[in-house]
Chains A and B, each alone.
Chain A
Amino acid sequence: MIGHFKENMTVLGEITILSKDFLKCMFTRPFYWGRLYEQILQLGVGSLSITIVIGVVTGLVMTLQFGYGLAKFGGTLYVPAIVSLSLMRELAPIFTSLLIAGRIGSGISAEIGAMNVTQQIDAIRALGTNPIRVLVVPRVLATVISLPLLTTLSAFMGILGGLSIAYSEFSMPAGFYINKVLSSVGLTDVFGSMFKCAFFGFIIAIVACYRGFQTKEGTKGVGQATTWVVVTTSIVILISDFFLSKLLILLFD
């Protein structure tokens, strides 16, 4: 038990060191714009379709459930506000981040892990270059940039999905729905959610890079690394979401 605790503290310490090195490399030259662009395409743009699907489906199902649930109490009118706020503040950030943890987190740790066990990381060092600058900075930045944008898109698509159900199932006029959404979702909600997701994106990518660098025992090690990254980052996202939400409510509500 105590050994386990100590181990976790070591991991936390090492991730902190990696984060510090990341910041140092990010603000010093050379900066690899080309690699950042490549990663945004691969990680961000590559996740577009799946984020849209998640957003739309969540919006559909939420509107359906709240629509019928609240109808019993005559509360159908509140559906647009409830659906759009919960999507923007919680559901889109959490669903998208968990999805990205699975898709991007595992991808990054598998890629860096495989490079590590085939000595390509050593080769980067042996050629006089810094693996953090070459591999970590573009991946972390790409995730920190992409995740908030993906989440916002996902929430937007969810609200549209909600509109279609509100209109078709509950005969709610589109103008009414949109008005209600616009009066309940404010800019602080959008930026608050983007802020949370930027933080989640950082956690996902830095933890994935860290575990990739730690990978040792060949193919099996790569598999274990990806599983560990997805589980760890998902838990961290869910727990930190509570505290970040609390903070945002304190600041803006």
Chain B
Amino acid sequence: MENILELKNIVKSFDDKKIHQGLTFTLKHGETIGLLGRSGTGKSVLLRSIIGLEQIDSGEILFHEQRLDLLTEQQLYPVRTRISYSFQNAALFDSISVFENLAYPLFEHTNLAEAEVEKRVMEALQMVDLTESRDLMPSDLSGGMQKRIGMARAMILNPEILLFDEPTAGLDPVNIEMVIETIEKFKAQGISGILVTHDISTAKRVCDRILILNEGKIGFTGTVDEFEGSDDPFVKSFLL
């Protein structure tokens, strides 16, 4: 399988606070990587850096051999329709309805007629099983529902890579199951993904490979089986 995304020696710090100190890994086409790590190890910062919401200090980010880290904000806009980020806190636009939240990227980046936009939005809502909330405002939704709408918004432009930031955190088992099913649907469509999570059972179900961040470096990388079979006490601490 070809590499769709390649990170080389990523270094990132905020002022004098070191976050990443040389991260290297690749995401293959159609693959889903589970990114684990304790709170504050910089998982969100890594996802945000990939689409250029944060600037890395040094290193290379290659998307289909294109250096994303060298692009300007303007040049990154089209890239962000192909790699999309589902925010840890959903980050829905709270002054417009669920429908308008989902229609926003379509109106911005396509010339679809209204009927077609409507159809696409309803399909996306169906994917996350929330068709009945199309006319609600984000504040009327529960946290779990907001997350699923956020995921629907992230996938509506049919991106090539989806970056999920803790999609199951704080959800009840039924909602977690729905999120997992949604991610499985993306996978079935051949979309690659990076899934940041603290939820090992979700990671085991949907990921092909597991990567653990530790103190700014990659502490472990391997398949789900290797992850589960590891004797390393550090890796084992995540399995508990």
Chain A: residues with CB nearer than 8 A to chain B?
Answer: 115, 118-120, 122-123, 125-130
Taking a contact as CB atoms under 8 Å apart, the answer to whether A127 and B108 are in contact is: yes
* Partner pick for B87 among A122, A128, A129, CB 8 A cutoff: A122
Q: How many residues of B contact A (CB 8 A)?
A: 25
A127 to B87, CA, bound (A): 11
B23 to chain A, nearest CB (A): 21
B48: which A residues are within 8 A, CB to CB?
Answer: 122
A223 to chain B, nearest CB (A): 18
Taking a contact as CB atoms under 8 Å apart, the answer to whether B105 and A127 are in contact is: yes
Of all chain B residues, the one with the shortest Cβ separation from A134 is B108
Taking a contact as CB atoms under 8 Å apart, the answer to whether A126 and B77 are in contact is: no
Of all chain B residues, the one with the shortest Cβ separation from A34 is B107
Given contacts A119-B87, A122-B53, A123-B87, contact A128 B93 (CB under 8 A): no
A123: which B residues are within 8 A, CB to CB?
Answer: 87, 91-93
B205: which A residues are within 8 A, CB to CB?
Answer: none
Q: Chain B 69-90 against A: per-residue CB contact (8 Å), 1 yes, 0 no?
A: 0000110111111001101010
Taking a contact as CB atoms under 8 Å apart, the answer to whether A128 and B80 are in contact is: yes
Taking a contact as CB atoms under 8 Å apart, the answer to whether B91 and A128 are in contact is: no
8 A Cβ contacts from B31-86 to A: 48, 51, 53, 73-74, 76-81, 84-85
Given contacts A128-B80, A128-B81, A129-B77, contact A122 B91 (CB under 8 A): yes
* CB of B181 within 8 Å of the partner chain: no
A122 to chain B, nearest CB (A): 6
Taking a contact as CB atoms under 8 Å apart, the answer to whether A119 and B81 are in contact is: no
8 A Cβ contacts from B134-148 to A: none
Taking a contact as CB atoms under 8 Å apart, the answer to whether B80 and A126 are in contact is: yes
B210 to chain A, nearest CB (A): 25
Leading 7 A-B pairs by shortest Cβ distance:
A128-B80, A123-B91, A119-B91, A128-B77, A128-B81, A126-B85, A127-B105
Taking a contact as CB atoms under 8 Å apart, the answer to whether B108 and A120 are in contact is: no
Taking a contact as CB atoms under 8 Å apart, the answer to whether A118 and B53 are in contact is: no
Taking a contact as CB atoms under 8 Å apart, the answer to whether B80 and A127 are in contact is: yes
A129 to B74, CA, bound (A): 9
* CB of B153 within 8 Å of the partner chain: yes
Taking a contact as CB atoms under 8 Å apart, the answer to whether A118 and B89 are in contact is: yes
B17: which A residues are within 8 A, CB to CB?
Answer: none
> Mind listing 15 A-B residue pairs with CB under 8 Å?
A115-B93, A120-B93, A120-B94, A126-B84, A126-B87, A126-B91, A127-B105, A128-B76, A128-B79, A128-B80, A128-B81, A128-B157, A129-B77, A129-B108, A130-B77
B76: which A residues are within 8 A, CB to CB?
Answer: 128
Given contacts A126-B87, A127-B153, A128-B77, contact A118 B94 (CB under 8 A): yes
A120: which B residues are within 8 A, CB to CB?
Answer: 91-94
Please indicate which of the listed interface residues A115, A126, A128 has the most CB atoms of chain B within 10 Å of its own CB: A126
A130 to B89, CA, bound (A): 21
A128: which B residues are within 8 A, CB to CB?
Answer: 76-81, 105, 108-109, 157
B74: which A residues are within 8 A, CB to CB?
Answer: 130
Q: Chain B 146-164 against A: per-residue CB contact (8 Å), 1 yes, 0 no?
A: 0000000100010000000
* CB of B104 within 8 Å of the partner chain: yes
B49 to chain A, nearest CB (A): 12
Of all chain B residues, the one with the shortest Cβ separation from A124 is B93
A127: which B residues are within 8 A, CB to CB?
Answer: 80-81, 84, 104-105, 108, 153
A119: which B residues are within 8 A, CB to CB?
Answer: 87, 89, 91
Taking a contact as CB atoms under 8 Å apart, the answer to whether A126 and B108 are in contact is: no
B153: which A residues are within 8 A, CB to CB?
Answer: 127
Of all chain B residues, the one with the shortest Cβ separation from A126 is B85
B112 to chain A, nearest CB (A): 15
B109: which A residues are within 8 A, CB to CB?
Answer: 128
A62 to B18, CA, bound (A): 63
A12 to B76, CA, bound (A): 27
Taking a contact as CB atoms under 8 Å apart, the answer to whether A125 and B53 are in contact is: yes
Taking a contact as CB atoms under 8 Å apart, the answer to whether B51 and A126 are in contact is: yes
B17 to chain A, nearest CB (A): 15
B93: which A residues are within 8 A, CB to CB?
Answer: 115, 120, 123
A146 to chain B, nearest CB (A): 20
Known: A127-B105, A128-B108. 17 other contacts (CB 8 A): A119-B89, A119-B91, A122-B87, A123-B92, A126-B51, A126-B53, A126-B85, A126-B87, A127-B80, A127-B81, A127-B84, A128-B76, A128-B80, A129-B105, A129-B108, A130-B73, A130-B77
